[in-house]
Structure 1
């Protein structure tokens, strides 16, 4: 069976994609606002921060898959070794700097962060850990990103793209209902399974159900876009300039738990699809939302988004030194800026040495996690 053919749409040939830096900037604002105002806003409104993280997941899946498929098209193969080196130089330096500084703050301010919490953060397995604390709580997202990087780029490399696409669709369809059954403990009540069976069934939801599905949605839409899917082509050519904004807002509303249409683990899939389509439509020059997201302050925030995400737990809530919220947020931006421009960029120079696809059509890898 002939494999799917990869194409490079005009929008993908650009060095910068319209709207994506701004979308990251908007997402990090959602995260910071949610954490900084956690004691002042209703519980359901705090979900806006998690929604910001979910947007990062979709962007990450789209950009990583686009990068890998582009490398395959330009060079005929994908270098996993260089991919992992690029990811390591982007993600690890600031994370480990944060943990080192947090280690000393834990001693000075007696923050109560356990050795196990540091260990699970260092190993990027926080999403599996029962050791929770505020200052490393955001590492659950970094763990999900790292686990995706370890598994799925390898699968993209060894599997025909057609089979990889089918696998991704299968996981997107299966994991959300399985996660719903597991986390709601329906299997214990309806199927009368014992705890050991319940925990065994939880491996897939823990590994794939807490954000990975959203990364896979981004990955799937990258494949659909780069292989000329009729479904995507129809939407892309017929949608007007406001559709991406409408889809973005509908996606956000679908994930607010107080609304009657919200179904845990299921609504997130609908959200991911809305964000993925909106993201693709933002690539078009005529997209109103894409042009809005290209506003320079939002783009600059997007560039700093990973740095801001790593450092923000220290400055948005439960600050060891207390202090004025405005001063703490100002300090966050100062620290993140210094971290990015005077520390992380030195490692980014090394990262670029391992970029195999060197041409005018090079795709830039994502800033977050948020990896990216």
Structure 2
């Protein structure tokens, strides 16, 4: 009987109106910029592995401990959490969301630096005859580079993750408006269905694109972040819960993330980690994010809030775009573009991204803040 009462209590709470918890009643979370920095560091160091000899010490270290796709997963969870939080706050304030304004703000944030990058790559292709064709540009321009409609190449291949996010942005405000009270259920269904779909895709790979695998197999991380936001604004979490104060819990979460990612990459314990490894990672990332928002006493919070991490997080999107140009695999494009040695290639990528953010993107970010509509 007690179990039934608890289930009913949870169900009623899930269907209760949104309200802003104390720990989220602030305009800015610096810890999340710190997490962006962690994510982009993983991406950069993971890609940098391809610019060194396989016999080098760094390559061997990165092969075991650094995973670029884990960095992208953190970006996805962050995106789901932040975008859904913004929509919920707008809904609480206005009783509805302005979809037109949402799209304009997303365009101003995402389009400018990507299209500038594509123009630069196009010019380099004309100068150095890199062999890039229209397919290599059309996929990124249309934000469908995660599907196989167009052929891919390294210089624009990283835009697959932007495509996944953009596809999420296209559907999410409409789903939010239609399923406001049951949004939690939609997210839960999406998250729990992915392990079963992965088994299906494993045995029937020809059906992957037909069942939208290029989107759904990655968007589960975004929906995990979205569900985290929904549960937060349904008051499922608060600063007095003991879990946020347990010492050493961060190390446990990080260990689970690393072990599951390691096993997925190497095919170990495939029956468990192949279908469910990414779901487990998403849950652990969500718990870490929330812990570093709620508890400002832990060491991880202090690390994420260091000035260098905040600054790196601020330019993380620009850095994600530009790093692909400087971290090309050895012997890529027939050496027509000189490959800089590690770690100089990383340093130059950061410098270019800093310039891009401060002297180009900031103009569009200011426009974004002025959107009233």
What TM-score does the superposition give when structure 1 sets the normalisation length? 0.85
Gaps of 5+ in 2: 1-10
How far is the alpha carbon of 1:131 from its aligned partner? Answer: 1.0
The 8 Å contact of residues 245 and 289 in structure 1, kept in 2 or not, is answered as no
Q: What's 1:49 paired with?
A: 68
The 8 Å contact of residues 81 and 222 in structure 2, kept in 1 or not, is answered as yes
1:195-254, Cα deviation, whole Å (9 max, x unpaired)? 6xx367x42322311x1000000000111111012xx45994433253234313321321
- C-alpha separation in 2, matches of 1:157 and 1:51: 31
Structure of greater relative contact order (alpha carbons < 8 Å, 6+ residues apart)? 1
Residue of 262, 265, 273 corresponding to 2:283: 273
Task: Tell me whether 146-155 or 241-250 shows the greater mean CA deviation.
Answer: 241-250
The 8 Å contact of residues 244 and 282 in structure 1, kept in 2 or not, is answered as no
Alignment of 1:252-271 (within 5 A): 252-256=258-262, 257-258=265-266, 260-261=268-269, 263-271=273-281
Q: What's 1:300 paired with?
A: 311
How far is the alpha carbon of 1:171 from its aligned partner? Answer: 1.1
The 8 Å contact of residues 109 and 365 in structure 2, kept in 1 or not, is answered as yes
The 8 Å contact of residues 241 and 286 in structure 1, kept in 2 or not, is answered as no
Correspondence 1:8 to 2:20:
yes
Q: What's 1:359 paired with?
A: none
Runs ≥4 residues deviating over 6 A: none
Q: What's 1:249 paired with?
A: 255
The 8 Å contact of residues 146 and 163 in structure 2, kept in 1 or not, is answered as yes
Q: What's 2:6 paired with?
A: none
For the aligned residue pairs, the C-alpha RMSD in angstroms reads 2.3
Q: What's 1:79 paired with?
A: 98
SS at match of 1:125: coil
1:332-358, Cα deviation, whole Å (9 max, x unpaired)? 1121011000000000011112268xx
Give the aligned length.
Answer: 341
Gaps of 5+ in 1: 189-194, 357-372
Going from structure 1 to structure 2, the CA distance change for 1:327 and 1:238 (only over 3 Å counts) comes to: closer
Q: What's 1:27 paired with?
A: 39
The 8 Å contact of residues 61 and 218 in structure 1, kept in 2 or not, is answered as yes
How far is the alpha carbon of 1:25 from its aligned partner? Answer: 0.5
1:45-71, Cα deviation, whole Å (9 max, x unpaired)? 486111111111001100100010011
Going from structure 1 to structure 2, the CA distance change for 1:168 and 1:235 (only over 3 Å counts) comes to: farther
Residue of 97, 119, 142 corresponding to 2:162: 142
- C-alpha separation in 2, matches of 1:347 and 1:160: 30
What TM-score does the superposition give when structure 2 sets the normalisation length? 0.85
- C-alpha separation in 2, matches of 1:125 and 1:84: 17
How far is the alpha carbon of 1:137 from its aligned partner? Answer: 1.0
Correspondence 1:59 to 2:78:
yes
Whose helix proportion is higher, 1 or 2?
2
How far is the alpha carbon of 1:290 from its aligned partner? Answer: 1.5
- C-alpha separation in 1, matches of 2:129 and 2:254: 42
Q: What's 2:144 paired with?
A: 125
The 8 Å contact of residues 19 and 290 in structure 1, kept in 2 or not, is answered as yes
- C-alpha separation in 1, matches of 2:240 and 2:249: 10
- C-alpha separation in 2, matches of 1:117 and 1:333: 24
- C-alpha separation in 1, matches of 2:233 and 2:286: 14
Q: What's 2:176 paired with?
A: 156
Going from structure 1 to structure 2, the CA distance change for 1:109 and 1:63 (only over 3 Å counts) comes to: same
Alignment of 1:1-372 (within 5 A): 3-38=15-50, 39=52, 40=54, 41-42=59-60, 44-45=63-64, 48-129=67-148, 131-161=151-181, 163-182=182-201, 184=202, 186-187=203-204, 198=207, 202-209=210-217, 211-229=218-236, 232-233=237-238, 236-239=241-244, 240-256=246-262, 257-258=265-266, 260-261=268-269, 263-284=273-294, 285-318=296-329, 320-354=337-371
